[in-house]
Structure 1
Amino acid sequence: MSPLAWIAIASLAVWAWLLLGQGFFWRTDQRLPAPPRPPEVWPRVVVVVPARDEAEVLPLSLPSVLAQDYPGPAEVILVDDGSTDGTGRLAEELAARQAGLPLTVVSPGEPGPGWTGKLWALRHGTALARARGPEFLLLTDADIAHEPDSLRLLVEAATGHDLDLVSQMARLRVSSAWERLIVPAFVYFFCQLYPFRWINRRRPLATAAAGGCVLLRTETAKRAGVPETIRQAVIDDVSLARAVRGVGGRIWLGLADRVDSIRPYPRLGDLWRMVSRSAYAQLRHSPLLLAGTVAGLALVYLAPPAALAAGLLSGDAPAAWAGGAAWAVMTFTYLPMLRYYRQSLALGPLLPFTALLYLLMTVDSAVQHHRGRGAAWKGRTYDRPTKSAPQRAFPDTRSND
């Protein structure tokens, strides 16, 4: 057989493994578990919202947080992280217009040495929250909108299943053509790297969280020393999950039905910056891991359609057959995510093109890092974490300020 045929067969073998041996990552059935019964006494919860220059999305997200129908004591702390667009003032105006959970707006000042902006804001917010004596903290980004029963369902899941961290991957916005092409694939890739079934096992095989919506047991956070122990993390959600797991905490992660990200990414450039700002950090700023990632993406996603096309043109039947079969399996595994996002299944065969875009974004992330721009977000640039404060860290579509 030709070298091309062997490459196509290797890709097909990888897809056979991904289909059956990677925790059934492609299934979208990991949803918030129903509790055996609601708690007899509803625990106190403080919602902490880090926000930096979020005036555009806050009118759609913050009212949904304040309107939670939680049966127990709860309040909201919004941490205005050095905003220049009046985020804090707008938050107070929104709270004054509606009845709901009480809101406190605070500002921590500029991040201290060795801190990323979001974690600096969370440090300030969680410190104030702990003074209220809550059993749980809900960490939710400023671009996340919640259905009225979201907090209640999160607490029911945590108390009913004895979980220390309950996290939901918010349903991201898919309105523009580029969002429809790229966003479902992002979540698909995340699930492939961190199969939710593996995370949610009693004996877990993977650890991750989704930073846009995290319900965290306060006592467990204290034992894990967060956010101080992950203060340099650019990819803060996975770092948080690993810190909680490190002190024996139980974690659950799934797809959200009642939690949505409303941040728009209408143009390719918007999505490109969203992914590239932290992709190289996921690879621990390692050129070797970057090379391995590029080679892996090429073999798994790009080789099948290339082998099919080249095999048909050259008469190489084994290459065409193996490439076509691998592409078919790839497309099949992507369809459940497209259904979850209510998108046309005709987008399934385009996954190799989307993977090529992600490959280029990852390479661009490395280029920007070596040009001294690092992980940049909203006017801040973060360098590689120092050895004194290791990053227990994956790229993140949620706000990393």
Structure 2
Amino acid sequence: MGLVGVAAVVSLVVWFWLLLGNGMFWRTDVRLPDVGEGRTAGEPWPPVAVIVPARDEAEVLPLSLPSLLAQDYPGPVGVFLVDDGSTDGTGDVARRLAGGGVVLTVTSPGEPPAGWTGKLWALEHGIALARRGDPAPEYLLLTDADIAHEADSLRVLVAAAESHGLDLVSQMARLRVATFWERMLVPAFVYFFAQLYPFRRVNRPGGRTAAAAGGCVLLRDEAAARAGVPASVRQAVIDDVSLARAVRRAGGRIWLGLADRVESVRPYPGLGDLWRMVSRSAYAQLRHRPSLLVGTVAGLCVVYLVPPLALLIGVVAGSPVAAVAGGLAWLVMAATYVPMLRYYRLTAALAPALPFTALLYLLMTVDSARQHHRGRGAAWKGRTYPRPSDA
């Protein structure tokens, strides 16, 4: 059958397993359940503190912060924007945006101590400040500075948590897909994330898979205290997944799905912008292990690159096994990608280009490892974080 034919058959088998045995990762119907009003008339809603860590976010705050200050949540709510050492006037911009029905508090904790990432130190500071309020929050909404919320977003999140006994409710915000490179890479980013952390497995009570999307995390304050977060994950570069794991280890129930009411307003207009976003943490996802890097590169090659190459080689060399197996694997791959493209309101014609996109992500991952070994790994907005064991 030849080496190419064997590789194509292996790839096809893997794709059938991914299609049927990986938690239906390709489906995009995991959304917040409809809970109606979430409260009977006259029943009080729990107090909520919204914590927004922000470092050099003056450009996007006018597009995101007003959406938090205009929430129609029926209970007590306050927004705490934590200015994490910004140099672009982030705090001043936030203060100018204050207004509406929700009280805004702008604060700054100073530089993070050794062993803390800036975002988690900002969350620790904001949560501590919120807990000193009256009333103290029963829920914490941890949301990034580039995330805009529909007016009913907070109410729906709390209603879902209360109705289903959830300690952590997280939504993967719909990211921007305005430019060519955003359309090529952003849906694939969410697709690959769901492949690693199938939402149905995350949401299974008592399941082993745990993940969250850091842009929008509603966390029961009691569960946060029980899990010791953010302090217990203070070194984590991929903080959302680490936080979800800590909550689950402490006995909490978690839920993760795609968002309908939450969107990112941050632009990634060029390939370089998206490259930096991915490469800063890709090697951390592999726990900075060269063996995992080699395995990941090999896996990406077999799963994503072999099918189109096998089809081409099989046609040119007259190998029906390579051509048929490669073509079928490529077809299954593209078919599983179509639902994500539709979620992003993009044409399904982009689906066959997934191998090219996967190649770019492979190169970003290798570059992430290269930067780490040159002392520039996990760099973001002027800070570089070591691997946890080196801190």
The match for 1:288 is 291
**Aligned pairs, how many?**
386
Q: Secondary structure at the match of 1:207?
A: coil
**2:234 counterpart of 1:231:** yes
- Structure 2 equivalent of residue 312 of structure 1: 315
Q: Does 1:80 align with 2:83?
A: yes
Deviation, 1:202, is 2.1
Match of 1:29 in 2: 29
What is residue 396 of structure 1 aligned with on the other side? none
TM-score normalised by length of structure 2? 0.98
1:252 aligns with 255
- Alignment partner, residue 338 of structure 1: 341
Contact 1:60 1:145 in 2 (8 A): yes
Is 1:6 aligned to 2:6, yes or no? Answer: yes
Aligned to 1:364: 367
Alignment counterpart, residue 187 of structure 1, candidates 181, 185, 190? 190
1:162 is matched with 165
C-alpha contact 1:37 1:160 (8 A) present in aligned 2: no
- Cα displacement (A) at 1:36: 6.8
**Contact 1:31-1:254 at 8 Å conserved across structures:** yes
Distance 2:54 2:281 in 1: 19
Is contact 1:130-1:218 (8 Å) kept? no
Moved over 3 A (4+): none
Unaligned runs of 5+ in 1: 390-401
Question: Superposition pairs for residues 45-60 of structure 1, below 5 Å?
Answer: 45-60=48-63
1:214 is aligned, of 198, 214, 217, to 217
Aligned letter for 2:121?
W
C-alpha separation between the residues in 2 aligned to 1:219 and 1:198? 24
Question: For residue 387 of structure 2, what is the aligned residue in structure 1?
Answer: 384
* Counterpart for residue 102 of structure 2: 101
Deviation at 1:100, TM superposition (A): 2.1
* Alpha-carbon displacement from aligned partner over 1:167-202 (angstroms, at most 9, x marks no partner): 000000000000000000000000000000011112
How much has 1:149 moved relative to structure 2?
0.2
What is the TM-score when the length of structure 1 is the normalising length? 0.95
Distance 1:66-1:37 versus aligned 2 partners, 3 A rule:
closer
Q: Deviations over 1:46-68 (max 9, x none)?
A: 00000000000000000001000
Asked whether the 8 Å contact 1:198–1:206 carries over to 2, the reply is yes
Once residues 63 and 255 of structure 1 are traced to their aligned partners in structure 2, the CA distance between those partners, rounded to angstroms, is: 22
3-state SS, counterpart of residue 248 of structure 1 = coil
Deviation digits for residues 272-314 of structure 1, max 9, x if unmatched? 0000000000000000000000000000000000000000000
Counterpart of 2:219, as a letter, is L
Indicate yes or no: 2:122 matched with 1:145: no
Give the AA of the match of 1:185.
A
Q: How far apart, CA to CA, are the structure 2 residues paired with 1:219 and 1:46?
A: 13
Structure 1 residue 6: deviation in Å? 0.7
Distance 1:247 1:185 in 2: 32
Q: Which residue of 1 aligns with 2:17?
A: 17
In 2: Cα distance, 1:139 partner to 1:202 partner: 22
Letter in 1 for 2:33: P
* Alpha-carbon distance, 1:130 to partner: 1.4
Question: Aligned-pair RMSD on alpha carbons?
Answer: 1.0
Equivalent position of 2:325 in the other structure: 322
User: Residues 70, 37 of structure 1: CA spacing in aligned structure 2 closer, same or farther, 3 A cutoff?
Assistant: closer
SS at match of 2:349: helix
Aligned-residue offset at 1:99: 1.7
In structure 1, what is the Cα distance between the partners aligned to 2:312 and 2:92? 57
Report the secondary structure of 1:209's partner residue.
coil
Query: CA–CA distance in 1 between the matches of 2:382 and 2:38?
Result: 44
2: distance between equivalents of 1:227 and 1:299? 38
Q: CA deviation at 1:37?
A: 5.9
Identical residues among aligned pairs (%)? 73
User: C-alpha distance in 2, partners of 1:208/1:345?
Assistant: 28
How far the C-alpha of 1:41 sits from its partner, in A, is 1.9
Matching residue's letter, 1:20? L
**Runs (5+) with no aligned partner, structure 2:** none
Native 8 Å contact 1:69 1:149 kept in 2: yes
Residues 1:240 and 2:220 aligned together: no
